[in-house]
Amino acid sequence: MGEGQGSTQPPENLNRLSRLNISCLFILCPWVERDKKSMPIDLAEFKELDAYAQKVDVKDTVGNLVSVLLQKAHSDLEKVRAIWVWICHHIEYDEEGCRDREKLALKPADVLRSGKTICSGYSLLFAKMCSLAGIRCRYLVGRTRNMKRHAWNAVYLDGKWHLLDCTWGRCGVLGRCNDYYFLTHPVLFVENHLPDDPKWLLLKQIMMCAAVAFISKRKAQNYPWDESNEKSIDIDLTQFEELDAYAQKVNVKDSVENLVSVLLQKAHSDLEKVRAIWMWHLLDSTWGSGSVDDKGNFTFRYSEFYFLTHPALFIEDHFPDDPRWQLLKQTLRLNMDGCDS
């Protein structure tokens, strides 16, 4: 059966890219409100249920805990909310256990007794409690935006899968849960949740916006200068050493025509002409000419990465308005309606 008609499997029709092996993807979509949920809900309606769940103090068995929580939760949505709020409110993050795995509680019963765990323990407990409450739930694993391993959950409500994270939703010092991670819209959730199985992005197609991120070869958040020399044509950059030195020394600024005329004295082929102009002026003067540190200080240092960059790498941080100029066999389309509501 198709999605939304009783199927418990995520959508399969992801946009597979023939030239790109995308291992993870960050999306910033300005048309999606930052608090948008994957289904129409009013969090204010949970005020009494939230207060009840926070006060429940049952820690003998997971079964008894669920039984008590469900006394005030009747619909599937209310059950999920009560379970999520209880875990976020009562289970602490185990910093010590994260460093010493021998002291770490991961099994649901152990987490319940200890009252602390890490992301996998949060997610396993949530999945167990949902199972006892009759809610279809999945335990998901993947990476965060900074590429650290993480775990979270998906729940099946009203004929669709929805995403949430108990670990990042847990209550802070003010005692309030972070509702952002409750039934988060997939377009927002994928900004910092990158599942190992891309089906669990829960997007109708993989979309790209102003920020497209990491292709499998590009594993670091910042681009090392010499990380990749894969170009769009077969070239040896060392052949340009003399031409580069010449172009850098040219100091003609009276007119563009005169500048080009002087540069072309040492550049004969079309490739050499492009190289000389790029080296003097830099094809992309922002990305090619240096870097900006956290304090906003600019350091001049040209980057070979941005000279005739392979399209599969260039698309990581250059997204043209006209998708034809991605120069990919299969273009990545910005589709404002391309994700589940």
The residues annotated with a catalytic role in the active site are 119, 150, 165
Render the burial of 207-240: b for 16+ CB within 10 Å, e for the rest. bbbeebbbbeebeeeebeeeebeebeeeeeeeeb
Cα 206 to its chain centre, rounded Å, is 12
Q: Where are the alpha helices (DSSP H) in the chain?
A: 47-55, 62-69, 76-90, 95-99, 108-114, 119-132, 166-169, 186-189, 241-249, 256-263, 270-281, 311-314
Q: Phi first, then psi: what are they for 262, rounded to 5°?
A: -70, -45
Closest by CA to 138, choosing from 146, 130, 147, is 130
Q: Which two three-digit tokens encode residue 67?
A: 């039984």
Residues 145/191, Cβ–Cβ less than 8 Å? yes
CA 163 to CA 186: how far, in whole Å? Answer: 7
CA angle, 128 then 107 then 161, to 5°: 30
Token pair listed for 192: 């910092």
Cα distances (angstroms) measured from residue 331 to each of 54, 186, 207: 48, 22, 11
Stated as kind and residue range, the H or E segment containing 161 is: strand 160-164
CB 313 within 8 A of CB 232: no
Q: Could you tell me if 85 and 177 are in contact, meaning their C-beta atoms sit under 8 angstroms apart?
A: yes
Is 192 in contact with 144 (CB distance < 8 Å)?
A: yes
